[in-house]
Amino acid sequence: MKFVLNGGLILGTLDGANIEIRDEIGQENMFIFGATADEVDAIRHSIRYRLRPLDPDLDFVIKGLRGGAFGDTSSFNQLVQMLVDGNDYYIVSHDFPLCTFLFFFLLLLSSFVLI
Protein backbone atom coordinates (compact mmCIF):
# COMPACT_ATOMS: atom_id res chain seq x y z
CA MET A 1 0.00 0.00 0.00
CA LYS A 2 1.23 3.51 -0.81
CA PHE A 3 0.05 6.84 0.53
CA VAL A 4 1.37 10.19 -0.67
CA LEU A 5 -0.10 13.65 -0.20
CA ASN A 6 0.09 16.41 -2.78
CA GLY A 7 3.69 17.49 -3.16
CA GLY A 8 5.02 14.30 -1.57
CA LEU A 9 8.22 12.86 -2.97
CA ILE A 10 8.02 9.28 -4.22
CA LEU A 11 11.33 7.40 -4.25
CA GLY A 12 11.37 3.80 -5.33
CA THR A 13 12.47 1.03 -7.59
CA LEU A 14 10.54 0.37 -10.75
CA ASP A 15 8.58 -2.66 -9.61
CA GLY A 16 5.27 -3.65 -8.10
CA ALA A 17 2.87 -0.84 -7.31
CA ASN A 18 5.40 1.80 -8.36
CA ILE A 19 4.85 0.82 -11.99
CA GLU A 20 1.12 1.46 -11.64
CA ILE A 21 1.72 4.72 -9.79
CA ARG A 22 4.11 5.88 -12.51
CA ASP A 23 1.52 5.08 -15.16
CA GLU A 24 -1.07 7.19 -13.31
CA ILE A 25 1.00 10.20 -12.24
CA GLY A 26 3.79 10.22 -14.82
CA GLN A 27 7.51 9.43 -14.59
CA GLU A 28 8.35 13.10 -13.99
CA ASN A 29 6.51 13.03 -10.66
CA MET A 30 8.58 10.33 -9.02
CA PHE A 31 12.22 9.50 -8.58
CA ILE A 32 12.99 5.96 -9.75
CA PHE A 33 16.32 4.43 -8.82
CA GLY A 34 17.95 1.06 -9.27
CA ALA A 35 18.00 -1.30 -12.20
CA THR A 36 15.12 -2.09 -14.49
CA ALA A 37 14.00 -5.68 -14.97
CA ASP A 38 15.70 -5.78 -18.38
CA GLU A 39 19.08 -4.89 -16.82
CA VAL A 40 19.08 -7.29 -13.87
CA ASP A 41 20.49 -10.42 -15.56
CA ALA A 42 23.46 -8.55 -17.04
CA ILE A 43 24.14 -6.83 -13.71
CA ARG A 44 24.01 -10.13 -11.80
CA HIS A 45 26.43 -11.63 -14.32
CA SER A 46 28.88 -8.73 -13.95
CA ILE A 47 28.70 -8.98 -10.14
CA ARG A 48 29.08 -12.76 -10.09
CA TYR A 49 32.15 -12.73 -12.32
CA ARG A 50 33.56 -9.49 -10.89
CA LEU A 51 33.53 -7.67 -14.23
CA ARG A 52 33.36 -4.40 -12.32
CA PRO A 53 35.19 -3.48 -9.12
CA LEU A 54 33.40 -3.23 -5.80
CA ASP A 55 32.46 0.35 -4.93
CA PRO A 56 35.15 1.80 -2.59
CA ASP A 57 32.52 3.09 -0.15
CA LEU A 58 30.84 -0.33 -0.01
CA ASP A 59 34.24 -1.94 0.53
CA PHE A 60 34.77 0.49 3.45
CA VAL A 61 31.42 -0.54 4.96
CA ILE A 62 32.25 -4.24 4.51
CA LYS A 63 35.55 -3.75 6.33
CA GLY A 64 33.65 -1.99 9.12
CA LEU A 65 31.17 -4.86 9.36
CA ARG A 66 34.00 -7.39 9.51
CA GLY A 67 35.86 -5.30 12.07
CA GLY A 68 32.95 -5.02 14.47
CA ALA A 69 32.25 -1.30 13.95
CA PHE A 70 28.51 -2.00 13.84
CA GLY A 71 28.28 -4.62 16.57
CA ASP A 72 28.62 -8.37 16.67
CA THR A 73 30.33 -9.44 13.44
CA SER A 74 28.42 -12.73 13.31
CA SER A 75 25.21 -10.78 12.73
CA PHE A 76 26.53 -9.63 9.37
CA ASN A 77 28.47 -12.70 8.18
CA GLN A 78 25.87 -13.84 5.65
CA LEU A 79 25.49 -10.35 4.15
CA VAL A 80 29.24 -9.77 3.95
CA GLN A 81 29.88 -13.18 2.42
CA MET A 82 27.16 -12.61 -0.18
CA LEU A 83 28.70 -9.29 -1.25
CA VAL A 84 32.30 -10.52 -1.22
CA ASP A 85 31.62 -13.79 -3.06
CA GLY A 86 29.54 -12.18 -5.80
CA ASN A 87 26.33 -13.97 -4.77
CA ASP A 88 24.52 -10.65 -4.63
CA TYR A 89 21.10 -11.78 -5.89
CA TYR A 90 19.41 -8.52 -4.89
CA ILE A 91 22.18 -6.47 -6.57
CA VAL A 92 22.86 -4.46 -3.43
CA SER A 93 26.40 -3.73 -4.63
CA HIS A 94 25.01 -2.22 -7.82
CA ASP A 95 22.55 0.09 -6.06
CA PHE A 96 24.83 1.03 -3.14
CA PRO A 97 26.45 4.13 -4.72
CA LEU A 98 23.07 5.59 -5.70
CA CYS A 99 21.54 4.79 -2.32
CA THR A 100 24.47 6.55 -0.63
CA PHE A 101 23.87 9.60 -2.82
CA LEU A 102 20.13 9.53 -2.06
CA PHE A 103 20.78 9.31 1.67
CA PHE A 104 22.99 12.41 1.67
CA PHE A 105 20.63 14.25 -0.69
CA LEU A 106 17.66 13.58 1.61
CA LEU A 107 19.75 14.54 4.64
CA LEU A 108 20.60 17.84 2.97
CA LEU A 109 16.99 18.36 1.90
CA SER A 110 15.72 17.68 5.42
CA SER A 111 18.11 20.27 6.83
CA PHE A 112 16.38 22.93 4.69
CA VAL A 113 12.95 21.77 5.79
CA LEU A 114 13.90 21.89 9.46
CA ILE A 115 15.28 25.42 9.29
Coil, helix or strand at residue 12:
strand
Coil, helix or strand at residue 22:
helix
52/78 Cα distance (integer angstroms)? 22
Note the pLDDT of residue 48.
93
| pLDDT less than 70: residues of the chain | 1-2, 104-107, 109, 111-115
Q: How many CB atoms lie within 10 A of CB 12?
A: 17
Note the pLDDT of residue 1.
62
- The answer for residues whose C-beta is within 8 angstroms of residue 96's C-beta and 6 or more apart is 55, 57, 58
Note the pLDDT of residue 81.
94
Q: Domain residues of the chain, as ranges?
A: 1-32, 39-114
Q: What is the pLDDT of residues 13-45, one digit of tens each?
A: 887 788 888 898 888 888 888 888 889 999 999
pTM of the model: 0.69
